[in-house]
Structures are given as structure tokens and as C-alpha cells.
């Protein structure tokens, strides 16, 4: 045990922080539009299977590496591999991935904060159709002063929480934000399902039509199960390093996965009943949040207030994720270079903001700056999400299952755990060694267009 390392003040604090790391725009924005494009309940059914087969076992493996190593991703892999350069490189990959994702994720998070302000100002009140909402989004996101202002403000919010530390910053914020997020989701679900004509939307999310399932649907469900849980970017490993050995990793991991999955599914019930009630097509794609919903709220009684609540929800979800991403690179800097946390948080937050400027400018005049035919934003997104994240997930499973080895890993897994049935340990072992690496490899090959 690293005696000097700060620890979570409570089990619930760790679960809420780790679930907050996983809950983000992927749950509120990406999951609903994938559900809408891929058959509703059929996609949700596949997604739940994939969460059990890939998500939960790899969540356990990543937290296990962090708690056992008691350091950042680089330090934990270095100690557990006894200085093996390849595995140290895997730790470095996690830190770089977290850094890159934060540099563009923060731009989108800034948009959500900007939309809270625009909602309060009443900017969406007179929008009559999604086309008009799309034009407004294009106008706002193409204004450097608007995009960079909210990019900067969101980074300041993130820095302020990391600056305060693990228990006083991340844990305290998570104990406020996660219940608030759940409350806001439930308020919007209740509003959505009580609209006239909402029953068709509920039916769409509950009745499975197996004819909707294709090979593409399976790949997308598998990928979303992996990406939704923030696997492979060092966040769960870093949060695990603050975990007491008196706490049960399997119990905590199950609670994290349940909370993450619950919010994703509730997001579906928040959006689709309202869409069906307004007579709109559910297969709206990525434009669902910024183009479709502002118009939907115009058709709902008290829509002005519910639109503010929705974008506030989106902002809180994004903030719980940016916190975990900045924490990955902050704890790396603190551990490896002995720089005080407060100084590291400010310096790194400012650096990420500066590195994120080209991502923001990809919408504000730099659209013609291309790398391999992609805008800077799309290029950084592709490299980090489609290549680095799946590789990180594969290496985590291979490290625990083969290099470090099950014989060494299982005793650490069982610390703080009582009455874990042997068959569950055996099942986890088989999945981590054989099933997860193959399925994540499929995600990787699919995401780079090879299958």
C-alpha cells in the first residue's frame, strides 16, 4: 500500500466518481442516436449482452491493475510488470489517450454549456424545424469567440475540481453531480412519457424486433458497450489506484456498470417518447441532440424550462467525464515528476485548452485544414477513439489474463471480497483471457474499417 496516496473517503464516493467517468456524452448523446438508427429495443438487447461479455470483466481488470499498483497507469504497469518496457509503454498509451480525448471532448462539452446559456437566453424559442436548429448550431459552432469561450470556461470548471484533490474535489463533486444527473434524467423521462402519443416511443424501446439485428448492429453494440464505460484510457485504472483494499472490486464494478447502463437506457426513455409524440423519425443520427431536440422542446408544454434542464444534464454528464480525463494526466504528472497537484492541474488544464484550440477551430475556419482527408478534430477523434482506446482495452485484458497472470491477479481481486462464488471467478478468468481480447479486437478492426 502506498501510504502517502490519497484514498476515496467512502465506497459510494468511488462508485459515483467512477460511474461519472463512464457516464458522459456517450450515454446522453451517442447511445440514443445509435438506438434510433439500429432498431430500438433490438440494439438495447445486444448492448446489454455486450456490457456483460466485455464491459464488466474489463472494468474489473482495469480497476484491479490500479488498486494493486497504487499508482498512475505508467507507474502501475511498471511495478506490476517489474519494469517491462512494453507494458510501461501501454501505461503511456493510456495517458496519451486521455490527453487527446480531453482535448476534443472538452470542445463538445463547451457546446453543451453554451447551449445552457443559449436556452436561458431563449435563442431556440422561434425555431420551427430541425433544419433551422441545424443552421443555428452551425452558426454558433463556427464563431471562434463562442466556441473558444465555452471551451475555456469548461476547462476552468474541470481544473477547479481536480485542483481540490481526490476527496475534496472529485469525490465531493461526484456526490453532488451524479445524484443531480440522475434526478434531471428522471424529470425529463417523466415529462417525455406523459406526452400524448408517447406510448409508441416506449413501445419502440421495449419490444424487440430480432429482424432488426444485423452484423453491423452487433459491431455497433459491442463498440458502444466498450466506449461507454471509458475503458482503455486509464481513467478507471487511476480511480482504482485511490481505492482501499478493504473494498470489493467486483461489487464496485457491478454498481458502476449498472449505473452507467441505467443512465444510458433512461436517456432513451427521455428522448424517444418525446420524438414519437412529435411525430418525428427516431433515426436522426448524430444531429439528434443539437438539431432535433431544441425543436422538440418547442412543441412541449413548459419546453423552455425542460430544454434548460436537458442541456444542464448534458453539461453535468460531460463534466463528470472531463474530470476523470484530466485526473489521469494529473496523477501521472504528480506521481512521475513529483509536481504538486494544484500546480499540475492548472498547467495541464491550460495545456489541454491550448492543444484543443485546433479541435475547436475545425468548426471555425479551419475546415479545410486536413490530415489524411480529415479535419483536425476528426483526425484526433479517429486516432484516440478508434485506435488507441481499443488497443488499450486489449492490452489490459492480455496483461491481467496472461502476462501478470491469473494466479497473481485473483488473490488481489479477492481482497475486500467475501463469498464470491468460485464459478464467477472462473467465468471472469475465461472472459478476460479469451473472450474480451477477441471481441475488443473485433471492435478495433471494425472501427478502422477492416471488417
* Helix (H) or strand (E) run with residue 88 in it: helix 85-121
Tens of pLDDT along 21-30?
Answer: 999 888 888 8
Residue % of the chain over a pLDDT of 70: 98
Q: 374 phi and psi, to 5 degrees?
A: -110, 150
* Helix (H) or strand (E) run with residue 155 in it: helix 144-163
CATH number (domain holding residue 28):
1.10.4160
Average pLDDT over residues 240-266: 95
How far is Cα 307 from Cα 150, in angstroms, rounded to an integer? Answer: 18
Cell of 150: 465555452
How far is Cα 22 from Cα 109, in angstroms, rounded to an integer? Answer: 15
Cell of 216: 453491423
* Helix (H) or strand (E) run with residue 411 in it: helix 406-414
Average pLDDT over residues 263-287: 81
**Is 302 within the bounds of a domain?**
yes
Who wins on pLDDT, 185 or 1?
185
Cα distance between the two ends of the chain: 44
User: Three-state DSSP class for 395?
Assistant: helix
Does pLDDT of 428 surpass 80? yes
- Of the pLDDT bands very low, low, confident and very high (cuts 50, 70, 90), residue 307 is very high
The residue to which cell 486536413 is assigned: 370
Does pLDDT of 114 surpass 80? yes
Average pLDDT over residues 140-159: 96
Does pLDDT of 419 surpass 70? yes
Query: What DSSP character marks residue 371?
Result: E
Average pLDDT, the chain: 92
**Is 49 within the bounds of a domain?**
yes
Average pLDDT over residues 418-432: 93
Cell of 218: 452487433
Average pLDDT over residues 299-324: 91
Nearest to 21 by CA among 151, 245, 152, 177: 177
- Of the pLDDT bands very low, low, confident and very high (cuts 50, 70, 90), residue 126 is confident
The residue to which cell 400524448 is assigned: 196
Secondary structure (DSSP) of 212-244: G--HHHHHHHHHHHHHHTTTTSSHHHHHHTT--
Contact 260, 228 (CB under 8 A): yes
How far is Cα 30 from Cα 35, in angstroms, rounded to an integer? Answer: 9
**Is 234 within the bounds of a domain?**
yes
**Is 6 within the bounds of a domain?**
no
Q: Dihedral sign, CA of 202, 203, 208, 213?
A: negative
**Is 2 within the bounds of a domain?**
no
Query: What DSSP character marks residue 210?
Result: G
Cell of 120: 436561458
Contact 29, 289 (CB under 8 A): yes
Does pLDDT of 241 surpass 90? yes
Average pLDDT over residues 4-33: 90
Cell of 302: 413548459
The residue to which cell 468460485 is assigned: 422
Nearest to 178 by CA among 286, 307, 324: 324
**Is 138 within the bounds of a domain?**
yes
Helices marked H in 402-447 = 406-414, 422-430, 436-447
- pLDDT confidence of residue 286: 63
Nearest to 97 by CA among 237, 222, 232, 240: 232
How far is it between the farthest Cα atoms of the chain? Answer: 63
How far is Cα 42 from Cα 174, in angstroms, rounded to an integer? Answer: 32
**Is 381 within the bounds of a domain?**
yes
- Of the pLDDT bands very low, low, confident and very high (cuts 50, 70, 90), residue 322 is very high
Query: What DSSP character marks residue 386?
Result: I
Cell of 283: 433515426
Strand stretches in 331-397, DSSP E: 370-371, 374-375
Total tally of structural domains belonging to the chain: 1
**Residue 174 sits in which domain range?**
11-447
**Is 295 within the bounds of a domain?**
yes
Q: In Å, how far are 23, 48, 210, 248 from 219, measured between CA atoms?
A: 21, 13, 15, 32
Cell of 376: 483536425
Does pLDDT of 127 surpass 90? no
Average pLDDT over residues 416-426: 91
Cell of 135: 443552421
Average pLDDT over residues 394-399: 97
Amino acid at each position: 500500500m502506498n501510504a502517502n496516496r490519497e484514498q476515496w473517503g467512502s465506497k459510494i464516493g468511488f462508485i459515483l466518481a467512477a460511474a461519472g467517468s463512464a457516464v458522459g456524452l456517450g450515454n446522453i448523446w451517442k447511445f440514443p442516436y445509435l438506438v434510433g438508427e439500429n432498431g430500438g429495443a433490438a440494439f438495447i438487447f445486444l448492448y446489454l449482452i455486450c456490457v456483460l461479455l466485455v464491459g464488466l470483466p474489463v472494468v474489473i481488470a482495469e480497476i484491479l491493475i490500479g488498486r494493486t499498483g497504487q499508482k498512475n497507469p505508467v507507474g502501475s504497469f511498471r511495478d506490476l510488470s517489474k519494469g517491462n518496457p512494453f507494458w510501461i509503454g501501454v501505461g503511456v498509451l493510456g495517458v496519451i489517450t486521455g490527453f487527446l480525448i480531453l482535448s476534443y471532448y472538452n470542445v463538445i462539452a463547451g457546446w453543451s454549456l453554451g447551449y445552457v446559456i443559449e436556452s436561458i437566453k431563449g435563442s431556440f424559442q422561434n425555431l420551427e424545424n430541425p433544419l433551422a436548429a441545424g443552421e443555428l448550431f452551425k452558426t454558433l459552432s463556427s464563431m471562434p469567440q463562442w466556441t473558444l469561450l465555452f471551451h475555456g470556461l469548461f476547462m476552468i470548471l474541470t481544473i477547479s475540481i481536480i485542483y481540490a484533490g481526490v476527496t475534496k474535489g472529485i469525490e465531493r463533486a461526484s456526490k453532488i453531480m451524479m445524484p443531480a444527473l440522475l434526478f434531471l434524467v428522471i424529470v425529463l423521462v417523466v415529462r417525455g412519457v406523459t406526452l400524448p402519443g408517447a406510448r409508441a416511443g416506449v413501445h419502440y424501446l421495449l419490444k424487440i424486433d430480432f429482424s432488426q439485428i444485423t452484423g453491423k448492429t452487433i459491431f455497433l453494440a459491442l463498440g458502444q458497450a466498450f466506449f461507454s464505460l471509458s475503458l482503455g484510457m486509464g481513467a478507471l485504472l487511476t480511480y482504482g489506484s485511490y481505492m482501499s483494499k478493504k473494498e470489493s472490486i467486483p461489487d464496485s464494478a457491478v454498481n458502476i456498470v449498472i449505473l452507467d447502463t441505467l443512465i444510458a437506457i433512461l436517456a432513451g426513455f427521455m428522448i424517444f417518447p418525446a420524438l414519437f409524440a412529435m411525430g418525428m423519425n427516431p433515426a436522426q443520427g448524430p444531429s439528434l441532440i443539437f438539431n432535433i431536440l431544441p425543436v422538440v422542446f418547442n412543441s412541449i408544454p413548459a419546453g423552455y424550462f425542460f430544454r434548460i434542464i436537458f442541456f444542464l444534464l448534458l453539461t453535468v454528464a460531460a463534466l463528470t467525464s472531463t474530470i476523470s480525463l484530466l485526473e489521469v494526466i494529473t496523477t501521472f504528472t504528480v506521481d512521475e515528476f513529483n509536481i504538486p497537484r494544484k500546480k499540475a492541474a492548472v498547467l495541464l488544464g491550460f495545456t489541454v485548452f491550448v492543444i484543443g484550440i485546433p479541435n475547436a477551430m475545425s468548426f471555425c475556419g479551419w475546415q479545410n485544414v486536413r490530415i489524411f482527408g480529415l479535419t483536425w478534430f476528426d483526425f484526433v477523434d479517429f486516432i484516440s477513439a478508434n485506435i488507441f482506446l481499443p488497443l488499450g482495452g486489449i492490452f489490459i485484458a492480455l496483461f491481467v489474463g496472461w502476462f501478470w497472470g491469473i494466479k497473481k491477479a485473483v488473490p488481489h481481486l479477492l481482497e475486500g471480497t467475501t463469498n464470491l462464488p468460485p464459478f464467477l471467478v472462473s467465468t471472469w478468468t475465461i472472459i478476460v483471457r479469451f473472450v474480451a481480447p477477441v471481441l475488443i479486437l473485433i471492435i478495433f478492426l471494425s472501427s478502422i474499417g477492416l471488417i
